[in-house]
Amino acid sequence: MATAVNVSATNNAEIDGLLSGVKWSGTITYSFPDAPSDYSNPYYGGGSEPTTSGFASAPTQIQAAINYAIGLILGYTNADIQYAGTNGADIMVAQSPAANPTAYAYYPGNYSSGGDVWFGTQYNFSLAKLGNYYFTTALHELGHAFGLKHSQEAGGPANVAVPSAHDDSEYTVMSYRSYVGASTTGGYTNEAYGYSQTYMANDILALQTMYGADYTTQSSNTVYTWNPTTGQEFVNGVGQLAPGGGAGGSANRIYETVWDGGGIDTYDLSNYTTNLSINLNPGASSVFSSVQLAYLGNGHYASGNVYNAYLYNNDARSYIDNATGGSGNDTIVGNAIANTLNGAGGNDRITGGSGNDTIIGGAGTDTAVYAGNRANYTVSYSAATQSFTLVDLRSGSPDGTDTVASVEYFQFADQTVATSTLMGPLTLESVGTTALVLDAQNYKLNPTAGGTGPILKNGGAAIIAGNYGAWSPVAAEQVAGGGYDVAWKNASTGYFSIWSTDSNGNFLSTLTPEVPGTDSRLISLETSFHQDLNGDGNIGAALITIEAQGTTSLVLSAGNYYLNPTAGGTGPILKNGGAPIVAGNYGAWSPVAAEQVSGGGYDVAWKNVSTGYFSIWSTDSNGNFLSTLTPEVPGTDSRLISLETSFHQDLNGDGSVGASGGPASVTIENAGSTSLVLSAGNYNLNPTAGGTGPVLKNGGAPVIAGNHGAWSPVAAEQVSGGGYDIAWKNASTGYFSVWSTDSNGNFASTLTPEVPGTDSRLKALEPVFHQDLNGDGAVGAAPVAIVDGGFVFNQNAGGTTLSGPSEPPDPMPAPADPQTASEQWTQPAGHDDVVADNLMDVLHNLHASGFLLS
């Protein structure tokens, strides 16, 4: 059996703010008693927990959570912890109505109740799963049993709280704050699976201060990976306990801190497609997926998915060594030791920081970032290894000596340099009679047959590679008279510009301004360069038939659109204001269909490839724009659909040409007495029993599918008085808003603003729609309040909410006293409706009324 002993202050508030002042010394035993007789009688230092009617063993799910937490503490510390079955032990974990409403624990003490953990019977702790309140309660209470106090309270040997910047669930499970700055009396506001899944960085450091740091944990080479759809962690391929039991969905959260004792350790995120933000510094956090971030309430999300533990006594063995990104555009930051940082796919930004790092950009356009100016580094290139060596020449060499491969740019404090300019002579192209060669950051116009030509210049000064931002020369050719044509390309926009130079390579004029690759002027010059500059598969102009339905063929040639007869011959060029339309000059918009109509003019359908929207032009017989037949409309718009027959095409891809060529309607839902039906871009509120109801309208005008961005109706029901309630959902945010309409389907008012699916007002309306709109498994509201020491935990708990707080068991006057029980987690007094109203107020006034119609 262990003995409780005093703990001294460290003079570091990050640690002292969690120290109660007592800890265990010796072998610590724990057990799950199954009978009151397992406890001493009398139960010194405690209350009547063992003898209160209703005493029971802790639920098996809580026992599993305690065992998990014990495993964590064993991994963090050198504590000697032994399981004692159901017998007496230093830490005895059981259930008793005396602990109602939730749970509490006693600090280590040399008395009967010292270290014991009690769970009440009022709430269903058998619902404990990794990441939810019940499970994290086990971590919190066991923390007390090992000597941790609440982080927000002064006390302990230094009589301090944890500094406010780290007093929240991101840094400690002992805090009463869901997020930094949250109230300590208003209750937790975390989502159901938004609770810490491990002890966090401050907890780990405080436990190690009391019990020492265990550097044998994962002391060999370790690879950490996570599942993007369930949040489950894998250590060297072995699956760990999964959040929510691996259910995914709302349980797909990652909210943990990693402690690793030694070896070469790697965060491998190669299975992620998101834009990762990985930071290997102690105490820092990494974001793998915004979907997997824990929502902490009131608009606050956790700053990361995975946090790194602090160094204990500055011992470098617990650093994470390496990181591998995914296929997204990742940001990776190393730490003070030698890291291997691999961006993998995507356009990545990688900062090695201190230490002699290995940086591998991988596929995509990658950038290695350095803190000093370009002149602070020597850069050398090895053709054999195809890698650069960068040496920091500043005092102390703060960026070390790095080996860098597969990186396109070096970003220094004063400039960004393309790595291609640092490789020595590099032939960029050698088609035709002139080779474009990059040598020592200058561009040379050398004869293909051999020898040296002039350097490309502007105003007599040599062009320096990288000094023109994203623009760089991609082709050059000597022309009649001895001068040169030089093609430049913007790597960001894909645009081109052609220079004309004299025989010394000095700029004279531009043959084209900045133009897209589809521009006819660029295309006509491709033959001069003997190259397919724009990558359209042709050198010079080519005919591309966009469509040939009906009597008119829409053809792209040399950057212009022709309205040719399908039967043969050439028609007019599509124009606006008398000037030909140049392909690419309208951004994401381009013509996709054309047809000659009665009177000799043409209808021309345009489509935006980014938004999927359409607009229809009417032109005269010369192809010149006259008017728009439709504004910018989605593919579901009835006006577009009605014009499909003019083009003889299914423009919107719904499987039919016009409104009647395919399914007449799509039933969105038909629960209850009203069926919500989408037909020809309108929403009909039809009786489920049969027949046709009104069209959904706003201001008397039908609501057009797609015209409200990500918002669309998902449910409708006729209510007393003849009007309708309409539930809208935002497909991007998952938020809801509910309309009330009159009997003609015309908008009257909003019953709710924009609210998340957890909002009580939305839940209260679910029975009206006969549906589980928010997907929580229930139609209507479920109990929402679970409590612990002034925290309200917002999730379905079962049972009833509390009418008042409970007092802590036998509270002691000072933490230094070995017979001091940690403060019990309780809920503020109030009835069910008061608690629900308060929760609603603090949780759901999150958005401005951007979607509200009034």
**pLDDT tens by residue, 119-138:** 999 889 999 999 999 999 99
* Dist CA 574 CA 631 (whole Å): 19
Share of the chain above pLDDT 90, in %: 73
* Dist CA 149 CA 152 (whole Å): 9
- The listed range with the strongest mean pLDDT (148-157, 512-521, 796-805) is 148-157
Burial level of 638, CB count in 10 A (0-12/13-18/19+)? middle
Task: Supply the pLDDT for residue 663.
Answer: 46
Closest by Cα among 431, 428, 435, 432 to 450: 435
Task: Supply the pLDDT for residue 501.
Answer: 97
Is residue 807 very low, low, confident or very high in pLDDT (cuts 50, 70, 90)? very low
Catalytic annotation present for 429: no
* Dist CA 652 CA 669 (whole Å): 23
Angstrom distances, CA of residue 437 to CA of 406, 443, 773? 21, 6, 63
Place of tokens 């106090």: 149
Q: Span 69-96, mean pLDDT?
A: 97
* Cα within 13 Å of Cα(810), Cβ side: 20
Closest by Cα among 615, 610, 613, 618 to 631: 615
Q: Span 556-567, mean pLDDT?
A: 88
Q: Does 767 sit behind a cis peptide bond, omega within 30 degrees of 0 on the bond before it?
A: no
Number of H helices, E strands in the chain: 8, 58
Q: Span 428-449, mean pLDDT?
A: 90
Q: Span 412-438, mean pLDDT?
A: 89
* Cα within 13 Å of Cα(437), Cβ side: 18
Task: Supply the pLDDT for residue 839.
Answer: 25
* Cα within 13 Å of Cα(236), Cβ side: 9
Q: Please state the three-class secondary structure of 687-736 as a single string.
A: ECCCCCCCECEECCEECECCCCCCEEEEEEEECCCCCEEEEEEECCCCCE
Q: Is the pTM of this model over 0.75?
A: no
**pLDDT tens by residue, 19-62:** 999 999 999 999 999 999 999 999 998 889 999 999 999 999 99
Q: Specify whether the CB–CB gap between 546 and 562 falls below 8 A.
A: no
Q: Span 464-478, mean pLDDT?
A: 89
Angstrom distances, CA of residue 170 to CA of 79, 131, 133, 196, 300? 24, 13, 15, 7, 11
Task: Supply the pLDDT for residue 847.
Answer: 27
Task: Supply the pLDDT for residue 803.
Answer: 23
The lowest-confidence range among 4-13, 264-273, 571-580, 752-761 is 752-761
Task: Supply the pLDDT for residue 464.
Answer: 86
Angstrom distances, CA of residue 708 to CA of 465, 612, 621, 712, 713? 47, 14, 36, 7, 10
Q: Which long-range contacts (CB under 8 A, 24 or more apart) does 352-358 make?
A: 352/399, 352/400, 352/402, 353/281, 353/399, 354/398, 354/399, 354/400, 355/400, 356/400, 356/401, 356/402, 356/403, 357/400, 357/402, 357/403, 358/402, 358/403, 358/404
Angstrom distances, CA of residue 7 to CA of 25, 44, 626, 818? 11, 23, 85, 11
Q: Which one of the listed residues 14, 141, 256, 477 is annotated catalytic?
A: 141
Angle formed by the axes of helices 832-844 and 760-769, nearest 10°? 110
Across 491-613, the runs of DSSP E, i.e. the strands, are: 496-501, 507-515, 543-547, 552-557, 560-565, 575-576, 579-580, 589-596, 602-608
Strand partners, 126: none
Provide the terminal-to-terminal Cα distance of the chain, rounded to the nearest Å: 70
Task: Supply the pLDDT for residue 285.
Answer: 98
Share of the chain above pLDDT 70, in %: 90
* Dist CA 492 CA 482 (whole Å): 32
Instruction: Give the helix/strand (H/E) hosting 210.
Output: helix 201-211
Task: Supply the pLDDT for residue 776.
Answer: 87
Evaluated on CA atoms 831, 835, 837, 838, the torsion sign reads positive
3-state secondary structure of 785: strand
**pLDDT tens by residue, 680-738:** 778 999 999 999 999 999 999 889 888 888 899 999 999 989 999 999 999 989 999 99
Closest by Cα among 374, 430, 375, 383 to 405: 383
Q: Span 499-513, mean pLDDT?
A: 96
Task: Supply the pLDDT for residue 759.
Answer: 87
Task: Supply the pLDDT for residue 613.
Answer: 95
3-state secondary structure of 154: coil
Token pair recorded at residue 162: 């944890």
**pLDDT tens by residue, 335-349:** 999 999 999 999 999
Inform me whether the pLDDT recorded for 853 exceeds 60: no
Task: Supply the pLDDT for residue 424.
Answer: 67
Is residue 442 very low, low, confident or very high in pLDDT (cuts 50, 70, 90)? confident
Mean pLDDT (the chain, rounded): 88
Q: Span 362-376, mean pLDDT?
A: 95
Task: Supply the pLDDT for residue 363.
Answer: 95
Inform me whether the pLDDT recorded for 190 exceeds 90: yes
Token pair recorded at residue 301: 């999300």
Task: Supply the pLDDT for residue 781.
Answer: 64
Q: Which long-range contacts (CB under 8 A, 24 or more apart) does 609-613 make?
A: 613/706
Task: Supply the pLDDT for residue 793.
Answer: 28
Inform me whether the pLDDT recorded for 794 exceeds 90: no
Instruction: Give the helix/strand (H/E) hosting 207.
Output: helix 201-211
* Dist CA 718 CA 700 (whole Å): 18
Task: Supply the pLDDT for residue 133.
Answer: 94
Within 402-534, residue ranges assigned H as helices are 520-529
Inform me whether the pLDDT recorded for 326 exceeds 50: yes
3-state secondary structure of 463: coil
Inform me whether the pLDDT recorded for 824 exceeds 80: no
Torsion from C-alpha of 29, 32, 34, 37, nearest 10 degrees: 30
Task: Supply the pLDDT for residue 660.
Answer: 54
User: Which of the two residues, 607 and 524, has the higher pLDDT score?
Assistant: 607
Q: Span 448-453, mean pLDDT?
A: 93
